[in-house]
Amino acid sequence: MVKRLLIVGTIVALFLGAVAWFNLFFKPAMIAEFVGKMVPPPATVTAEKAKVEEWVDRVHSIGTMVAIEGVDVSPQQGGMVVEYFFESGDDVQKGAQLVKLDTSVEEADLANNKATLVQAKLDYDRQVNLVKKGAASQAVLDQTIAKRDSAAAEVQKVEAIIAQKTITAPFSGRLGLRRVEKGQYVSVGQALVWLQALEPIWVDFPVPESEVARFKIGSPIEITVDAYPGEIFKGKVQAFDARLNQDSRTLMVRGTLPNPERKLLPGMFANAAVLAGEPKQVVTVPRTALTYSLYGDSVWVVKHEPPQPPPAPAPTAKKAESVGTAIAADAPPTEAKLKAERRFVRVGPSQGDRIAIAEGIKAGEEVVTSGQLKLQQGSEIKVDNSGALKPPAELPKQ
């Protein structure tokens, strides 16, 4: 009985020992070997080479287009509109007739005053002859002169009122929307139509205090507007404001741009860039290649590892060794691998979709432009530019 118990105990102990050895030694070793042999596939990214470009330093700002001359055409005298001589959006020259008000009452007053003036001149001539003959005193002649001059002034006054009721363009430009109709009564100062001089045109934009000394009057400027994407309008700095804004510490700058096609209109939102300094060569990469973090700005550089030679055959019998040597001799070397290397950089100015790298990247080095979130230091990568990021379509602004 004891002997049987010993045999059963031994078998159970061996079984438990085998289970323990499998779970504690064999199974972890197999898992470690499997994990060690399991190589993750390369991360697919897009890449582009850094290149040297010739850039001019720019001072960027946001401004507003302003007409060199712009007024709201209004009458100096009230009255009924008899006729208008323009349509909305017309281009007019200086002095062009725009609106005519009713002048029938003034013309009647003018005829009466002219008659009074004629009578005053006759009285004056008559008094002059009487004074020469000694039949009238000088005081009477002076009164006659005063009446003549007063009558002449009344004529001039009515003529001026009639002229003011014929409204003309004070300068050449483009008219806005017509806000007057025939038969309408307009009062003094009532807006009839906008008149804006569009050639040339101003752009006003603020510049931070620290950037003011980087350019001067006459420096070239480049303007882009949302209405004409991709088109650049060039001009020059015309003037600086006399003082800085105390709240924002910015100086208002005014630039002048030729506008022969009348594309730029007053009130347009403008992206302004003042060209400061001479052109210089910089190393640039796409904006998407830059990764921002609390530790600094960085880019992922594509490193090309040279092909590795085929592995040497394991030492075995002579025959096996000779066969292995022959196979190894015929086996091609492993393909070159691409690895990702994170490199911290110092960035410079940006223009469009590219940014200058002042330190950390050399021209010709390939940088990752998308897929950075999948990378770690030394990760194996695969470059596939067929899925490269494209700039989004221009969305309409509300």
Asked whether the beta carbons of 366 and 51 are under 8 A apart, the reply is no
- What CATH number was assigned to the domain covering residues 103-164? 1.10.287
Under DSSP, is residue 29 helix (H, G, I), strand (E, B) or coil?
helix
Backbone angles phi, psi at 351, to 5 degrees: -140, 120
User: Which token pair is 20?
Assistant: 């323990």
Under DSSP, is residue 55 helix (H, G, I), strand (E, B) or coil?
strand
| Interatomic CA distance for residues 91 and 198, integer angstroms | 10
Nearest to 347 by CA among 284, 277, 294: 284
Which listed CATH number (3.40.50.1220, 3.40.50.11240, 2.40.30.170, 3.30.465.10) goes with 58-67+191-279?
2.40.30.170
pLDDT of residue 99: 92
Nearest to 273 by CA among 62, 63, 60: 60
Q: Where are the beta strands (DSSP E) in 191-264?
A: 193-208, 220-225, 233-240, 250-257
pLDDT of residue 326: 45
Under DSSP, is residue 265 helix (H, G, I), strand (E, B) or coil?
coil
| Interatomic CA distance for residues 47 and 371, integer angstroms | 9
Backbone angles phi, psi at 300, to 5 degrees: -100, 120
Under DSSP, is residue 389 helix (H, G, I), strand (E, B) or coil?
coil
Which listed CATH number (3.40.50.2300, 3.30.70.100, 3.40.50.300, 2.40.420.20) goes with 41-54+281-387?
2.40.420.20
What letter would DSSP give residue 346? E
Topology alike, domains 41-54+281-387 and 103-164: no
Domain boundaries, the chain: 41-54+281-387, 58-67+191-279, 103-164
pLDDT of residue 320: 44
| Interatomic CA distance for residues 291 and 122, integer angstroms | 96
- Kind of pairing, strands 97-101 and 250-257? unpaired
pLDDT of residue 233: 93
CB atoms within 10 A of CB 268: 18
pLDDT of residue 201: 93
Q: Which distant-in-sequence residues (6+ apart) come within 8 Å of 270 by Cβ?
A: 62, 63, 64, 65, 203, 205, 223, 224, 225
Note the pLDDT tens digit of each residue in 289-334: 898 888 889 999 998 877 666 555 555 544 444 444 444 445 455 5
Note the pLDDT tens digit of each residue in 150-170: 888 988 998 889 888 889 999
327 alpha carbon, distance to own chain's centre: 64
CB atoms within 10 A of CB 387: 11
Nearest to 193 by CA among 337, 344, 81, 27: 81
Asked whether the beta carbons of 338 and 378 are under 8 A apart, the reply is no
Angle at 335 between CA 330 and CA 336, to 5 degrees: 140
Residues in the chain predicted with pLDDT less than 70, given as ranges, are: 1, 34-39, 307-336, 387-398
Note the pLDDT tens digit of each residue in 343-387: 999 998 888 788 989 888 888 899 998 888 888 888 888 888 876
Cis amide leading into 200 (omega within 30): yes
pLDDT of residue 2: 72
| Strand partners for 46 | 370
pLDDT of residue 109: 87
Backbone angles phi, psi at 337, to 5 degrees: -110, 150
